[in-house]
């Protein structure tokens, strides 16, 4: 059961927030597992109840809010500046700025790490050198632990199992 140690190292570490936006390259078995996650059945009843609760409260869902951002990003007067962009920059809200930039051209074609860095820069919260070190350390730890897991992954051959009801 030494392979559980590597999985725990991957799951229990507090990673830098950039990994909410980028997907690190992992080994083939991890990539296959991530692709197959959509096939796992989930609790549809709970999701429908949440949708009904949102309809009753008449609140805007976060995904709908993100879809509205580029539509509300109108020019302000003759200045040529955008309303939502200026608001987000003044509030230093780089997370919503990333979501806005992901939906506008030419930023939608940028790699996510560059878009993240750009959004932080224009919101006056540039990535510090310590954060760059943390990002690189997190990427190295992910690679190391996934490679170690691949070398020491458990074998499920010749195991007899039984389900009792």
pLDDT digits (tens, 9 = 90+) for 30-44: 677 777 777 766 667
Q: Which residue has the higher pLDDT, 127 or 19?
A: 127
Q: How far is CA 125 from CA 54, 97, 115, 128, in A?
A: 34, 12, 13, 9
What is the pLDDT confidence band of residue 68, given thresholds at 50, 70 and 90?
confident
Look at residue 124 in the predicted model and tell me its pLDDT: 87
Mean pLDDT of 79-83: 65
pLDDT digits (tens, 9 = 90+) for 116-155: 888 889 888 888 899 889 888 888 887 887 777 777 776 6
Neighbours of 16 (CB within 10 A): 16
Distance of CA 61 to the CA centre of its chain: 18
Q: How far is CA 130 from CA 4, 75, 137, 146, in A?
A: 30, 37, 10, 24
Q: Distance between terminal CA atoms of the chain?
A: 27
Q: Are 7 and 149 in contact (CB under 8 A)?
A: yes
Look at residue 1 in the predicted model and tell me its pLDDT: 47
């Amino acid at each position: 059961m030494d392979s559980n140690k590597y999985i725990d190292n991957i799951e229990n570490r507090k990673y830098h927030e950039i990994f909410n936006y980028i997907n690190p390259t992992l080994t083939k078995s991890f990539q296959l597992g991530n692709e197959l996650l959509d096939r796992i059945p989930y609790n549809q009843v709970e999701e429908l109840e949440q949708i009904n609760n949102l309809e009753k409260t008449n609140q805007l869902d976060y995904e709908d809010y993100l879809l509205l951002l580029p539509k509300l990003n109108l020019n302000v007067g003759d200045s040529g500046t955008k309303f939502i962009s200026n608001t987000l920059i003044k509030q230093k809200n780089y997370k919503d700025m990333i979501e806005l930039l992901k939906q506008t051209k030419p930023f939608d074609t940028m790699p996510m790490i560059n878009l993240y860095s750009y959004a932080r820069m224009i919101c006056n919260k540039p990535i510090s050198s310590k954060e760059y070190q943390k990002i690189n350390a997190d990427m190295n730890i992910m690679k190391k632990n996934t490679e170690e897991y691949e070398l020491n992954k458990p074998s499920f051959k010749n195991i007899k199992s039984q389900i009792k009801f």
